[in-house]
Structure 1
Amino acid sequence: MTRLYLRIYLTVVASLLVFAAAFAWVWHSRGGPYDTTMHSQVQVIANALPPARAPMADQQQTLDRLAQGLPVRLALLDASRRLIAQSRPRPGIDDQPAVPRAGEALWMLHLPDGRWLQASLPRGGHQPLHVLLLSLFTLAAIIGVLVLPVVRRITARLERLQQAVESLGAGDLRARVAVEGQDEVARLAQSFNQAANRIEALVGHHKSLLANASHELRTPLTRIRLTLELIAPSVNEERRDGLQQDIGELDALIDEILLASRLEALPHLEATEAVDLLALAAEESARHGGVDLEGAPATVKGDPRLLLRLLRNLLDNASRHGIPPVQVRLQVADGRAELVVRDHGPGVPEGECASVFEPFYRGSAARDRAGTGLGLSLARQIARHHGGELACRYEPDGAFAFVLSLPVAS
């Protein structure tokens, strides 16, 4: 990808070079002030010189008078470029032969009567057009050098603004950018900071409201559970079991909402330690029962309570929606621990695999089954807080599996 400052800089330099080239082409093809001046000089010199048939002495005298005070040597040639006369050399300055040598000619004027007037510098010189073009290209180089730091400073501020936008999009609501200068980029940075402040305030208010509402639901839920226990003897057993199941689901939902809110409020884990992922999986597999566990030990760095909650949600999901036996396989490869939880149920349709981790999403195969709809979303959130990822796939033998990948602790 081409950097913005390089594109702007190259555009400026290219524009200068194109202008210089176009100027040179117009000058060469249609003439310019220099050509007009030269034509005028030709006419003036032709009027001053004697006719071509005039005596050589008259032509020599006129040529010396024209060269008087000029830092050039003049030579008058006939139509076939044979020397007619030349200005006399000045002692100490024009000690070299008077006839111009190769590389010494500055210009040659073609007179209307066919003669040529040649002007030369003994020590060489440059054509005025070359001098002009050299000046234009030198000016382009100077402007190019001066433009680069200015363009780089502008685009550097845009790059910092881009980094802040990416950080905000990645979930860092505290991302801000320094306001530098008073131009459009500075106003854009100021607008971004104002928008980020509003977003942070709105999200913070939403999280606080959600956490407080979930916490306040604990009290009436406890009263309902206590009342149900008091009236249990007078309630039909089937109805009582249904009410207890509903209360359990509400309690689990509140617990997961509170945990999700706490994770969203923390961009990073508060405390981490070395965790034996195989031992943690064995502990949770024993609690569920009927889970086949195999694999090699793997140590990861993280919060053991959150990792245990992640494994619990995966096994709960497999037990609730899958078909036994549930199998857990742990392996280490390329510095990452891969934990696969698979069952022999119908799995998730391929079109729903990307949506199964969304909060409160219930697939078509699990729409009428128990569950809060937050388990897999919370599991992926925990995995990403540990620098890992949680995904789903179909194994080569057709079994559906959830795959947890975490970096191994060094």
Structure 2
Amino acid sequence: MKRLNLGLPRLYFRFYVAILVILLLFSLAVRQVWSRSGGPLERSNVTLSHVMQNVLAPPDAPREQQQAALENVAKGLNAHMTLYTRDWKTLAVVGDQIPARHWRQRGITGPPPESFVRLPDGRKLLSSEPLGFTRPKAMLNNALLLLAVGIGIAAFPLVRGLTRRIERLQHGVESLGAGDLKARVQVEGNDEVARLALSFNRAADQIEQLVGAHKTLLANASHELRTPLARIRLALELIKDGVDPKRRAGLEQDIAELNELLDEILLASRLGAVVDDTEFEELDLLALAAEECARYDDAVLDGESAVMQGDPRLLRRLLRNLLENAHRHGRPPANVRIGSAERMAVLTVWDDGPGIPETEFERVFEPFYRRRNTRDNSGAGLGLALVRQIARRHGGEARCVLMADGRSSFEITLPLAAKRRAD
């Protein structure tokens, strides 16, 4: 069974993208709020810069005063501090000097700065001990980025685990639809997917039981019906001299029709089963058609060789049903033509009768449907239904189409063999 492909991303991918989009929108919203109102970290840094400017000496004070003020700030902090001018000239140093641009250059000795405070007057204070929050907006952006990456990495196995269970359930449904009546899915967890898996398994159990009961019923019915039919036929043979010949012929015809009906019902049931046990072999559809047309005096065959993979017994039954339909309900001769188009063998059957009205093109393929006002109303109405079932079992189709002269014909399309397609 082919998988349905609508060109859409897989479910787990859509789930995952949805989570990432939500994270992105959340990050943008937080940044927007921060930029408009100013976060507490940003306000604390502004406050710290003003406090440091008030504690330190004015920017135009002598270096001794700058040094004394900086030592007063560093007292008890056990920190290395360096005060620079607006253009990065050294004003005062406590402990080891922290080089300017330390974090942008390599090979520079000295303690790295833990805090960078830009004073309102343009001076820069570098400290080896943290005095406040460094670049709060950058910290916020980095934190949001790390949060998004962390949630994205953690969400993927969760989303993939959920959709993988759904994919296993899909595989079970496809297996059941393809004919594996024993297909079941593993029940994992205790959520909606697990309950869906339980429901599928229960439905599969019921389908398997129903199909088994259906097969058993048909087999038993066939056996029970054939036994009395055989006794009736034997009784007719024993009392043939005491039965009116006309009545005897009618009874024999009734018995033959019942036997044919049983054969058609059993074949229709087997073809309608989901399990495909048809054995294919390479054959020439033209040769099969020639054998079947030889059974009728009024059958005309024309066409070309069409090599395909198929079940000879079923394809003979398809041809026989079409010819028998033309013999019973049409006018001789029955014409059979075999051609090919678009890597498909095309079998066309028609007769010289008026054909089938266009309104009944689909109904004639319904089981037990029989058209009225035909010259022969015998048959159970399963012949054309079997034709369509056999064609579909071979990967083809059966339909009723209009010909150029306005009459109808039966057109059967069947896949050609691979070698034939290559030619």
| TM-score normalised by L of structure 2 | 0.79
Deviates more, 1:62-71 or 1:315-324: 62-71
Deviations 1:311-347 (A, max 9, x none): 1111112222333332111123444322111234444
Distance (Å, rounded) in 2 between the aligned partners of 1:400 and 1:49: 106
Contact 2:329/2:375 (8 A) holds in 1: no
Deviates more, 1:325-334 or 1:6-15: 325-334
Contact 1:310/1:382 (8 A) holds in 2: yes
Query: What residue number does 2:315 align with?
Result: 307
**Match runs of 1:11-410 below 5 Å:** 11-42=18-49, 44-45=51-52, 47-49=54-56, 58=65, 61-66=68-73, 73-75=82-84, 87-89=91-93, 93-95=97-99, 108-110=118-120, 115=121, 118-119=124-125, 127-180=135-188, 183-228=191-236, 239-264=247-272, 267-269=275-277, 271-363=279-371, 369-409=377-417, 410=419
Deviates more, 1:139-148 or 1:179-188: 179-188
* 1:181 CA displacement: 5.1
Q: Secondary structure at the match of 1:404?
A: strand
Q: Secondary structure at the match of 1:337?
A: strand
Distance (Å, rounded) in 2 between the aligned partners of 1:177 and 1:343: 52
Contact 2:84/2:91 (8 A) holds in 1: yes
Q: CA distance change for structure 1 residues 31 and 4 in 2, over 3 Å: closer, same or farther?
A: same
Q: Secondary structure at the match of 1:294?
A: strand
Q: State percent identity of aligned pairs.
A: 50
Deviations 1:241-272 (A, max 9, x none): 44443332222111111223334457233544
* 1:29 CA displacement: 1.1
**RMSD of aligned Cα (Å):** 3.8
* 1:130 CA displacement: 1.2
Contact 1:274/1:299 (8 A) holds in 2: yes
Distance (Å, rounded) in 1 between the aligned partners of 2:322 and 2:150: 66
Residues matched between the structures, number: 396
Distance (Å, rounded) in 2 between the aligned partners of 1:170 and 1:130: 58
Q: CA distance change for structure 1 residues 176 and 242 in 2, over 3 Å: closer, same or farther?
A: same
Contact 1:89/1:95 (8 A) holds in 2: no
* 1:54 CA displacement: 7.9
Contact 1:74/1:87 (8 A) holds in 2: yes
Distance (Å, rounded) in 2 between the aligned partners of 1:403 and 1:11: 50
Deviates more, 1:267-276 or 1:315-324: 267-276
| TM-score normalised by L of structure 1 | 0.81
Q: CA distance change for structure 1 residues 266 and 258 in 2, over 3 Å: closer, same or farther?
A: same
5+ residue gaps, structure 2: 1-7, 105-112
2:141 counterpart letter in structure 1: L
Distance (Å, rounded) in 2 between the aligned partners of 1:87 and 1:97: 16
Contact 1:269/1:385 (8 A) holds in 2: no
1:285 counterpart letter in structure 2: C
Contact 2:286/2:304 (8 A) holds in 1: yes
Contact 2:50/2:119 (8 A) holds in 1: no
Distance (Å, rounded) in 2 between the aligned partners of 1:49 and 1:107: 12
Contact 2:289/2:319 (8 A) holds in 1: yes
Contact 1:60/1:86 (8 A) holds in 2: no
Q: CA distance change for structure 1 residues 75 and 344 in 2, over 3 Å: closer, same or farther?
A: farther
Q: Secondary structure at the match of 2:348?
A: strand
Distance (Å, rounded) in 2 between the aligned partners of 1:321 and 1:71: 110
Deviations 1:279-303 (A, max 9, x none): 2111111212211101112233333
* 1:150 CA displacement: 3.3
2:315 counterpart letter in structure 1: L
